[in-house]
């Protein structure tokens, strides 16, 4: 669990990164003396404009120190999410930043092990994979079958029932989710 101070620091890193990057300024140096911010953790940065999704990209597994991963994913969420045009500087005032810090992945043998609203899920089959963060279940109100079907179809590019195949791998993780509105 992150402390309130750590959450605020990560949100500040994401906000300042976007302000500098989108205005064309050189990014400031990130100073992090907190060992938690140096841990390699999976993280997603979600941008919402007036409550609507505006960008969401992340690392499923820890490939960089958390502070640097937040910086990178803030930029990618604003400029690299193929579902949306890039965010421009003028939009920032209407953007709320949400960060999801992930636990390590756990392979599950059966979809029955998935706890809706608590677990994020990754579906892998062959070279295709897709991920839904835990909050997707709450935001959509889908049943587990709808959740997994949509994950297969829209995120992994698989048939909606691919999650039932024996050669499909299912992984779960949890996320500590916090946003500027909640802190």
Per-residue pLDDT at 147 exceeds 90: yes
Q: What is the CATH number of domain 4-102?
A: 3.30.700.20
75 Rama class: left (phi>0) / alpha (psi -120 to 50) / beta: alpha
So where are the chain's domains? 4-102, 106-173
Residue 180: other Cβ atoms inside 10 A: 17
Dihedral (CA of 51, 131, 128, 79) sign: positive
The mean per-residue pLDDT over the stretch 43-59 comes to 95
What whole-number distance in Å separates Cα of residue 144 and Cα of residue 110?
12
Mean pLDDT rounded to a whole number for the chain:
94
The mean per-residue pLDDT over the stretch 37-55 comes to 94
Q: Do domains 4-102 and 106-173 have the same CATH topology?
A: no
Per-residue model confidence as pLDDT tens digits over 63-117: 999 999 999 999 999 999 999 999 999 999 999 999 999 998 999 999 999 999 9
Q: Quick one: pLDDT at residue 23?
A: 95
Domain covering 106-173 assigned CATH 3.30.1490.150 in the classification? yes
The mean per-residue pLDDT over the stretch 156-163 comes to 96
């Amino acid at each position: 669990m992150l402390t309130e101070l750590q959450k605020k620091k990560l949100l500040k890193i994401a906000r300042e990164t976007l302000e500098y990057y989108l205005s064309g300024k050189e990014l400031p140096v990130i100073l992090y003396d907190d060992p938690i911010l140096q841990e390699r953790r999976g993280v997603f940065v979600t941008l919402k404009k007036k409550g609507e999704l505006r960008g969401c990209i992340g690392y499923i597994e820890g490939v960089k120190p958390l502070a640097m991963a937040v910086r990178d994913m803030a930029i990618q969420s604003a400029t690299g999410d193929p579902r949306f045009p890039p965010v421009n500087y003028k939009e920032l005032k209407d953007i709320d930043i949400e960060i999801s810090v992930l636990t390590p992945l756990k392979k599950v043998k059966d979809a029955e092990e998935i706890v809706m609203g608590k677990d994020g899920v990754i579906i892998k089959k062959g070279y295709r994979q897709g991920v839904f963060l835990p909050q997707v279940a709450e935001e959509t109100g889908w049943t587990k079958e709808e959740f997994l079907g949509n994950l297969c179809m829209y995120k992994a590019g698989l048939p909606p029932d691919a999650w039932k195949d024996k050669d499909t791998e299912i992984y779960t993780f949890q996320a500590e989710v916090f946003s500027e509105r909640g802190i």
